[in-house]
Structure 1
Amino acid sequence: MPKLGEVLGGLLTDVLRARLAADALTAQAVEAYREDPVLASFSVPRVTVADLTVRLRFLVTDVTVPEPVRPDRVRAGRLWNAVIRDRVLPLLSTAHPDAGLEEVVRLLQDAVRKNPIPVGEAELDRAVGGDTTPLADATLAQVAERIGALPPAARDRLAKIRWKDEIRQELARRAGPFAERVRQWAAAEQALRSRVEVEVSADRLQERPVETLQQLELTVSLADVEEFIDLATRTEP
């Protein structure tokens, strides 16, 4: 049985073939108009299709829903460390513009870049489940370790502000959106592994009760398809 994605992919392929055929005919018309002294004064006609809508009737024969996937801890760790470096740590200098903490923040960012803060499996599972406190607390402890390894002058500057409370609050604020992003990743991976098998043959569909049939309306913008193809086939300079 064909997969729904295969059917839709075949439709999109045919749309692109039709566009190529139309462009080829246009190219031939250009040559014909150039060679004819009368036609040469007219503009070359061209058929263009901006959007194409297809209504597909089908019967679902089987649905495969895979088990939920565990969050990718490596990928999540890279994202969380980026949040710490680029969103959390800069708060120390922006919230205290007169404290001269820009260099301290750069030292901390370098420390996190060279020695990323680990994201524990249990903390990540709790965060994805809705409780981000363990992740924020564990991260704060790791940030404190890196602050403790800074030169004395940098630590003295930080001692003049309540950096621990400020970082804790910012981590708590950023942990929620981070966990939602990880949940979206997991849901997308699960969806990509799911399968819907369909029956699209006209004679087979006529044998089925109308109420058992499904209908899908798909509108394709050729400009979007061409942009996607261009990105997929582009080579780096």
Structure 2
Amino acid sequence: MPRLGEVLGGLLTDVLRARLAADALTAQALEAYREDPVLASFSVPRVAVADLTVRLRFLVTGVEVPEPSRPDRVRASRVWNAIVRDQVLPRLSTSHPDAGLDEVVRLLQDAVRRNPVGVGERELDRAVDGDTAPLVDSTLVQVAEQVDGLPPAARARLARIRWEEEVQRELALRAGPFAERVRQWAAAEQALRSRVEVEVSADRLQERAAETLQQVELTVALADVEEFVDLATRTEP
């Protein structure tokens, strides 16, 4: 049985083929108009379609839903490190504008860039399940290790403020939205691996009760489809 994505993909392919055929006919008409002294004074007719809407009735014959995949720890670690480096740490200097912490924060950011914060599977799984405390605590410990490696003068400036409390608070504020993003990634990957098998033959559909049939309406902007195809087929110079 065909799958829903294959049916919709075939429809889009046929739309592009129709556009190519129309452009070929327009090119032939252009030559004919140029060669005819009377037609040469007229504009060449051309059919322009901006949008196309297709309504497809189908019968679902099978649904395959894969098991949820584990969170992508590599991707999650990269995003979490960017949050720590570019959002959490700068708050130390913005919260204490008179403490002269700008250079200290830059040193700390460079340290995290060289030695990224590790995100363990346990911490990530717990965060995805709604408990972000282990991720926050682990990250704070690793940031503290980075602070210990700073020059004495930089450590002395940080010691004047309660930087651990502030970093922990900022991490906790951002850990929830971060975990939600990871959940969304996993859900999207599961959806992409899902399959819906359909029946679209007219004679088969007529045998079925109307209430058992499904319908999808697809509206396509041809300009967007052409741009997508151009990007997919473009080669580097």
Same fold (TM over 0.5): yes
In the alignment, does 2:11 pair up with 1:25?
A: no
In the alignment, does 2:184 pair up with 1:184?
A: yes
Cα displacement string for residues 81-133 of structure 1 (whole angstroms, at most 9, x for unaligned residues)? 11111111121222223322222222211211111111111111111111112
Q: What are the equivalent positions in structure 2 for 1:195-210 lying under 5 Å apart?
A: 195-210=195-210
Q: CA deviation at 1:233?
A: 2.6
Give the aligned residue type for 1:225: V
Q: Provide the rounded CA distance (Å) in 1 between the counterparts of 2:203 and 2:163.
A: 71
Q: Provide the rounded CA distance (Å) in 2 between the counterparts of 1:161 and 1:21.
A: 71
Q: Provide the rounded CA distance (Å) in 2 between the counterparts of 1:65 and 1:155.
A: 53
Unmatched runs of 5 consecutive residues or more in structure 2: none
- Residue equivalent to 1:161: 161
* Partner secondary structure for residue 31 of structure 1: helix
Give the aligned residue type for 1:64: E
Cα displacement string for residues 69-88 of structure 1 (whole angstroms, at most 9, x for unaligned residues)? 11111111111111111111
- Residue equivalent to 1:141: 141
Give the aligned residue type for 1:233: T
Give the aligned residue type for 1:38: V
- Residue equivalent to 1:123: 123
- Residue equivalent to 2:224: 224
Q: CA deviation at 1:197?
A: 0.4
* Partner secondary structure for residue 57 of structure 1: strand
Q: CA deviation at 1:196?
A: 0.5
Q: Provide the rounded CA distance (Å) in 2 between the counterparts of 1:173 and 1:19.
A: 51
Q: What are the equivalent positions in structure 2 for 1:48-87 lying under 5 Å apart?
A: 48-87=48-87
- Residue equivalent to 2:38: 38
Q: CA deviation at 1:51?
A: 0.8
Aligned length: 237
Give the aligned residue type for 1:74: V
Give the aligned residue type for 1:205: L
- Residue equivalent to 2:193: 193
Q: Which moved more, 1:186-195 or 1:151-160?
A: 151-160
State the TM-score, normalized to the length of structure 1.
Answer: 0.95
Q: Provide the rounded CA distance (Å) in 2 between the counterparts of 1:236 and 1:110.
A: 34
Considering only aligned residues, what root-mean-square deviation do their CA atoms show, in Å?
1.4
Q: Provide the rounded CA distance (Å) in 2 between the counterparts of 1:10 and 1:117.
A: 46
Cα displacement string for residues 178-220 of structure 1 (whole angstroms, at most 9, x for unaligned residues)? 1111001100111111111001111111111221111111111
Q: Provide the rounded CA distance (Å) in 2 between the counterparts of 1:85 and 1:230.
A: 37
Q: Provide the rounded CA distance (Å) in 1 between the counterparts of 2:171 and 2:39.
A: 70
* Partner secondary structure for residue 58 of structure 1: strand
State the TM-score, normalized to the length of structure 2.
Answer: 0.95
- Residue equivalent to 1:12: 12
* Partner secondary structure for residue 98 of structure 2: coil
Give the aligned residue type for 1:45: P
Give the aligned residue type for 2:21: A
* Aligned sequence identity (%): 83
Q: Which moved more, 1:219-228 or 1:96-105?
A: 96-105
Q: CA deviation at 1:236?
A: 4.2
Q: Provide the rounded CA distance (Å) in 2 between the counterparts of 1:155 and 1:124.
A: 30
**4+ runs of 1 displaced by more than 6 Å?**
none
